[in-house]
């Protein structure tokens, strides 16, 4: 019975992969024919049915770039880069899409320690960092055993310091895993999706108009209240915007 169940699951998995590859091929074919709206719809179906990936987000970004929907193209390039920060094609196309943005807001450089941590954390995915941590912890346990049962003082001393080092690096790896997961699941960055939107001084339509933002501009969400979000932009300006005008990365 177990063998039959395993065989059934394997067949289902293979059929699922085949169906997904067929849908991707169909979406790619629509894109090649310059049917960008149809291609985008098919890529979104793939995401709804099978989940997301950097490549699918990248392809969606390309579709919306061709359709001159700057906000959506930037959104999906940004999402591709969150999943794979070293995705060079997504970086290049994001820069091209950003040239269409009306607002010329210079993003301030991050604090050097934050920049260093972020640069190091993106070397691997969240899962990869986790398994690196597990492997290092296993080696740490092996070093502890070597310390406990070592046949010489020198060997026990080396294994002791090795165990401490491996344990510390394992903890750091778990931390980077958590950072990468948080970057994906709890991003506080968003993209303006409306052509032109007025930023208010308070979370209601009667609030004072502070400044305008345009489609494709990246903002950071500070807080939320009902249907409104308090945002901050690169130059430090703060204001309120309705949820319907932005989409989180």
Q: Is 213 helix (H, G, I), strand (E, B) or coil?
A: strand
Look at residue 114 in the predicted model and tell me its pLDDT. Answer: 76
Q: Per-residue confidence at 213, pLDDT binned at 50, 70, 90?
A: very high
Whole-model pTM? 0.77
Write the CATH number of the domain with boundaries 2-98: 1.25.40.10
Look at residue 14 in the predicted model and tell me its pLDDT. Answer: 39
Mean pLDDT throughout 71-91? Answer: 92
Question: What is the tens place of the pLDDT at every residue in 214-245?
Answer: 999 999 999 988 899 999 998 889 999 999 99
CA dihedral in degrees (70, 202, 232, 230; nearest 10)?
-80
Residue extents of the structural domains in the chain: 2-98, 112-185, 189-248
Same CATH fold, 189-248 and 2-98? no
Contacts with 20 (C-beta within 8 Å, 6 or more apart), sequence order: 46, 49, 50
The span from the CA of 65 to the CA of 142, in Å, is 53
**8 Å CB contact between 231 and 190:** yes
Both tokens assigned to 94: 């994001």
Look at residue 20 in the predicted model and tell me its pLDDT. Answer: 67
The span from the CA of 61 to the CA of 121, in Å, is 25
Look at residue 22 in the predicted model and tell me its pLDDT. Answer: 81
Q: Per-residue confidence at 19, pLDDT binned at 50, 70, 90?
A: low
DSSP 34: T
Tell me the CATH architecture of domain 189-248. Roll (2.30)
DSSP 110: P
Burial label, 26 (beta-carbon count in 10 A; 0-12, 13-18, 19+): middle
Question: What is the tens place of the pLDDT at every residue in 142-181?
Answer: 999 988 887 888 888 999 999 999 999 999 999 988 888 8
Q: Is 117 left (phi over 0), alpha (psi -120 to 50) or beta?
A: alpha
The pLDDT mean for the chain works out to 85
**8 Å CB contact between 188 and 220:** yes
């Amino acid at each position: 019975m177990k063998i039959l169940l395993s065989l059934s699951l394997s067949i289902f998995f293979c059929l699922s992969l085949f169906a997904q590859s067929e849908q991707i091929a169909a979406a790619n074919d629509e894109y090649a024919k310059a049917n960008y709206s149809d291609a985008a719809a098919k890529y979104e179906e793939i995401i709804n049915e099978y989940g997301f990936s950097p490549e699918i987000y990248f392809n969606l970004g390309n579709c919306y770039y061709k359709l001159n929907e700057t906000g959506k193209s930037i959104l999906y390039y940004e999402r591709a880069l969150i999943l794979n920060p070293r995705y060079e094609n997504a970086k290049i196309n994001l820069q091209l899409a950003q040239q269409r943005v009306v607002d010329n807001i210079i993003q301030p450089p991050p604090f050097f320690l934050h920049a260093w941590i972020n640069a190091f954390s993106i070397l691997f995915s969240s899962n990869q960092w986790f398994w690196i941590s597990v492997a290092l912890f296993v080696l740490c346990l092996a070093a502890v055993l070597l310390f406990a049962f070592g046949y010489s003082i020198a060997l026990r001393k080396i294994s002791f310091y090795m165990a401490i080092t491996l344990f510390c690096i394992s903890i750091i790896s778990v931390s980077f895993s958590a950072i990468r997961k948080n970057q994906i699941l709890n991003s506080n960055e968003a993209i303006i999706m409306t052509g032109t939107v007025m930023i208010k001084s308070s979370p209601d339509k009667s609030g004072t108009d502070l400044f305008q933002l345009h489609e494709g501009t990246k903002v950071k969400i500070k807080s939320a209240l009902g249907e409104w979000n308090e945002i901050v932009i690169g130059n430090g300006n703060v204001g309120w915007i309705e949820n319907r005008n932005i989409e989180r990365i």
